[in-house]
Amino acid sequence: MAWCLCAVLLVATLVSIAAGAQARGEPVVEFETTVATYVPPNNGAGPLWCYGAPLVARLGDEAYLSAMETGEGIAPLCNTRWNLYHVSGQSVELLQHEEGYVEREPCPLVRAGDSLYLSVNPLKSADGPRQGPCDPHLLRFPIPGAAEIPVALKPPWPDGATLTEHSYRGLAADGPAGEVLALTIDAATSAQHWCLLDRDGRWVAQGSLSFPIRACYPQVALRGRAAHVLAIGDIVEPVAEWRTYKHEQTQREWDYVFRRLFYAWSPDISASGFAEPLEVENLEATAGHITNLDLWIGPDGEAHLLYATTPVQSPLMRDRFFPDVKLVTSLVHTVVRGGAVASREVIAEGGEGLPQPAPSWARFHATGDGRLFIVYYASGANWVMQLLPARGEPMRLSLQHPITHPFTNTERGGSEPSRVLDLFGTTDEPNALGYARIRLPEE
């Protein structure tokens, strides 16, 4: 009886706290939990490696999560599998998982119509080396009934394409239309091959998108067959002097840089394919660093881009080559209209010479009533801030374990605009994947 009374009092206290926060116009944490812990796969990827593609899908009051699991004692590179979770109310349930550990990377998840679609990339043969030819395709799960055996949908990738465990997959859904756009990279040519799936499960268009240099980790959006891709250049350090110096100082062979940001667009992917990519930002001159963070399509069709810039990629490079440059990280909001940059503004920044620390990992979130928010991580906490139609003040989320690199229930993943904000990703606990459901304040 005493236990029941304590439980009732706890629930009443939480309800009272939530009611007070709503009355003050603050976001409310409705549910927070650790979904799983993970073992680093040591394969060059990790649970956040597909950061450009969604891992969360919401339909009504239900949310679904895709999480990586590493196989014990299985050699890299393909030593992980996908787990599909269901979030309902105050509980998280593991619905099903892949039979073998045959994936290198996390498996993106979207919702389209009354189905979930999981982008998988299993090894074609697990009998030999744990790398090599792979079979990128989609698995379709019905809603409800996502615990049922999924249907495999194999895209018509180009003949002769080199498809391996390094897939850099993109995935987008037009939720209301029930259509899905899937991308995977060609390991030989660096082209991003794409295929469009209609609501009847037919592959109705396909093609290839090439950027001026290899571009990876794409954010992809699909609305009414208008398609948008945001991708970051991912190449070996092109400046010989810088490459030599970094190797002398670190002895690291891995030296990829991320300095050129690209956007590509098609008004109708089924009719015309993609136009020539636009270079949105270039930090080559100062050995800078760019992280592509999110892509949101407004009701007028404008593409809103969110990314972070640092003028020099590291203190090591700054101290040797650019001693007068301060290491400041900026969150940048850029609007592209008709294939050209229409506006660009810094919405948050921090670092050297500034009173606030550098912001990191950020996402857009639309509520469906004309408001657009960003959620980001800074100062050991998650923050939300209204961006449109007018800028608001940052509001701290009262999470016990902040999510350092959040994935969200994004529209480009087929989730509907909502005051409910799902956060999923690594937390401040070691090797933990956490989930939180937030209710944003009314207008």
What's the pLDDT at 22?
A: 58
pLDDT category at 18 given cuts 50, 70, 90 is: low
Residue 191 in any domain: the answer is: yes
Final residue of a domain: which of 294, 328, 353? 353
Terminus-to-terminus CA distance in the chain, angstroms?
A: 42
Domains in the chain, number: 3
Q: Tell me the pLDDT tens digit for each residue of 374-429.
A: 999 999 999 999 999 999 999 999 999 999 999 999 999 999 999 999 999 999 99
What's the pLDDT at 392?
A: 96
Does residue 9 have a pLDDT over 80? Answer: no
What's the pLDDT at 24?
A: 62
What's the pLDDT at 19?
A: 52
Same domain, 143 and 110: yes
Final residue of a domain: which of 302, 319, 353? 353
Same domain, 81 and 184: yes
Q: Tell me the pLDDT tens digit for each residue of 351-381.
A: 999 998 889 999 999 999 999 999 999 999 9
What's the pLDDT at 357?
A: 86
Residues whose CB is less than 8 angstroms from the CB of residue 386 and which lie 6 or more positions away in sequence, other chains included: 371, 372, 373, 392
Same domain, 322 and 378: no
Does residue 16 have a pLDDT over 50? Answer: no
Work out the average pLDDT over 155-171. 98
Residue 94 in any domain: the answer is: yes
Same domain, 48 and 194: yes
What's the pLDDT at 23?
A: 53
Same domain, 310 and 373: no
Same domain, 240 and 300: yes
Residue 10 in any domain: the answer is: no
Same domain, 335 and 401: no
What's the pLDDT at 1?
A: 43
Work out the average pLDDT over 43-71. 97
What's the pLDDT at 5?
A: 38
Same domain, 215 and 204: no
Residue 172 in any domain: the answer is: yes
Residue 14 in any domain: the answer is: no
What's the pLDDT at 40?
A: 97
Same domain, 156 and 195: yes
Residue 21 in any domain: the answer is: no
Query: pTM here?
Result: 0.94
**Structural domain boundaries enclosing 73:** 41-209
Same domain, 327 and 410: no
Final residue of a domain: which of 320, 336, 353? 353
Whole-number average pLDDT of the chain: 94
Does residue 15 have a pLDDT over 70? Answer: no
Residues whose CB is less than 8 angstroms from the CB of residue 152 and which lie 6 or more positions away in sequence, other chains included: 137, 138, 139
Same domain, 50 and 78: yes
Work out the average pLDDT over 35-53. 97
Same domain, 143 and 224: no
Work out the average pLDDT over 316-340. 97
Work out the average pLDDT over 227-256. 98
